[in-house]
Amino acid sequence: MISKAKGTYDVLPNESHKWHTLEEKARQICVLFGYQEVRTPIFEYKEVFHRQNEQSDMVTKETYNFMDKGDRELTLRPEGTAGVIRSFVENKLYVETPLNKLYYIGPNFRYERPQKGRFRQFSQFGVEAIGSNDPALDAEVIGLAYSFIQKLGLKGVRVRINTLGDNESRAAFKAALKNHFEPHVDTLCEDCKQRIDKNPLRILDCKIDGQHPAVVKAPTTQDYLNDFSKRYFQSVLTYLDVANIDYEIAPKLVRGLDYYTHTVFEIEADIEGFGAQNVLGGGGRYQSLVKELGGPDLPGIGFAFGMERLIIAMESENIAFEQDPRTDIFFIATDANARTQALKLLFESRNQNMVADMDFVSTSFKAQLKSGLKKNAKYLGIIGETELQNKTISLKNTETQQQEEVPLKIAIRSLKDWLGK
Minimum Å gap between C-beta 119 and ligand AMP is 4
284 binds ligand AMP (CB under 6 A): no
**Chain Cα centroid distance, residue 185:** 38
118 binds ligand AMP (CB under 6 A): yes
Among 124, 169, 327, 341, contact with ligand AMP (rule: CB under 6 A): 124
Please state whether beta strands 329-333 and 300-306 pair in parallel, antiparallel, or not at all (unpaired): unpaired
Please say whether the beta carbons of 91 and 55 come within 8 A.
no
Q: In this complex, which beta carbon is closest to ligand AMP, that of residue 93 or of residue 313?
A: 313
158 binds ligand AMP (CB under 6 A): no
SS3 of 239, please?
helix
Handedness of CA 32, 35, 41, 47 (dihedral sign): negative
Minimum Å gap between C-beta 282 and ligand AMP is 5
Of residues 84 through 113, those in contact with ligand AMP by CB under 6 A are: 110, 112
Number of residues engaging ligand AMP in binding (CB under 6 A): 18
Minimum Å gap between C-beta 312 and ligand AMP is 10
SS3 of 247, please?
coil
309 binds ligand AMP (CB under 6 A): yes
Q: In this complex, which beta carbon is closest to ligand AMP, that of residue 7 or of residue 219?
A: 7
What distances in angstroms separate CA 255 from CA 260, 261, 267, 404, one per listed residue? 8, 10, 12, 65
Return phi, psi of residue 293, to 5°.
Answer: -95, 20
Minimum Å gap between C-beta 183 and ligand AMP is 30
Among 165, 306, 372, 381, contact with ligand AMP (rule: CB under 6 A): 306
What distances in angstroms separate CA 136 from CA 89, 103, 363, one per listed residue? 24, 18, 65
Among 157, 204, 269, 280, contact with ligand AMP (rule: CB under 6 A): 280
Return phi, psi of residue 129, to 5°.
Answer: -115, 115
Question: Which residues of this chain interact with ligand AMP, rule CB under 6 A?
Answer: 79, 110, 112, 117-119, 122, 124, 256, 279-282, 304-306, 308-309
